[in-house]
Amino acid sequence: MTGTRAPRFTMTEEDLGAGLWLIGLGPGDLGQMTRGALVLSQACNYRFLEGYTAVLPIEEENALEGLVGPWERLMRDEVETPEKILDLAQHSSVALLVVGDPMQATTHIDLEERCAELNIPFKVIPGLSATSLAISLSGLQSYRFGRQVTLTYSYGDYLPTSPLELIDKNYNNNLHTLMLLDLDPTGMGIEKPKPMTPKVAVELLQRMIEKISERDGSLKPSLQIPIDDWDGILLSDISTNQQRIEAGNLGKLSNYQGGNIHSFILPAKMTDEEKKAFTRRMRK
């Protein structure tokens, strides 16, 4: 646990006291919640599920109430303008349930500051993060990863090239890239997320290459390789019964059908051991 000193696990609801608890649910399988996350979720007077930075599989979401008790979903505007939960937390124990590890999102870090300003006790119960699990499951060396990238949807005519530029910077520094795929095609965080598919992700990278070429008049050698020929590892529905990990080129991986939440790892130059791990993850 991090943050203000937390009560022991022998607490009752009456003992827990007022405050805001950010509780990590883990990457999608509620069976991987920590004991602390489970006990504290059950003990809080109010429970809210943060519903826009990450999502639970529908079967896990349906099971959540039976596991921790009644809950209410909060979308982006209610978390970024959190008067409702902060008012409750001044006199009751409030749990904000977050898929993965709660402090990975800047919105949740802002909540800590808001609580400090209002003198509201604030505590964090970390959860397993899909980002760390993705690196472990890839078979690549964790110390060889560069900056993580989120690939966002294109909104109208707006297509940022910064994700591709960060990937290319990692590659030229001989660092692998973990690329998370966006969940929200509206960019507003007010509707239930619609996870990006591998096909859309590869198409967006191709469009970014074309935009950079048009803007700069030329491409770096590292960006002249056809996007379909880039090596990649596709990780789908990590830590669920539907988990799937497949290596190959992006042209092949973009045709993947099924699954819900996806991410890619884009390797730089791999060591011999990493190449073997990559090959083992290729579909036979």
pLDDT digits (tens, 9 = 90+) for 244-254: 999 999 999 99
Better-predicted residue by pLDDT, 8 or 149? 149
Contact 127, 34 (CB under 8 A): yes
pLDDT digits (tens, 9 = 90+) for 179-226: 999 887 665 555 677 889 999 999 999 999 999 999 998 899 999 999
Average pLDDT value over all residues in the chain: 89
State the span(s) of the chain assigned CATH 3.30.950.10: 131-280
Count, in order, helices (H) and strands (E) of the chain.
Answer: 11, 11
Distance between CA atoms of residues 140 and 273, nearest Å: 8
Q: Which of 251, 150, 161 is nearest to 203 (CA)?
A: 251
Coil, strand or helix: which one is 232? strand
Superfamily of domain 2-128: Tetrapyrrole methylase, N-terminal domain (3.40.1010.10)
What integer pLDDT is reported at residue 158 of this predicted model? 85
- pTM for this one? 0.83
Q: Is the pLDDT of residue 175 over 80?
A: yes
What integer pLDDT is reported at residue 111 of this predicted model? 92
131-280 in CATH: which number?
3.30.950.10
Distance between CA atoms of residues 238 and 234, nearest Å: 10
Coil, strand or helix: which one is 176? strand
**109 contacts: CB under 8 Å, gap ≥ 6:** 103
State the span(s) of the chain assigned CATH 3.40.1010.10: 2-128
Q: Is the pLDDT of residue 7 over 60?
A: no
Q: Which one-letter amino acid corresponds to residue 13?
A: E
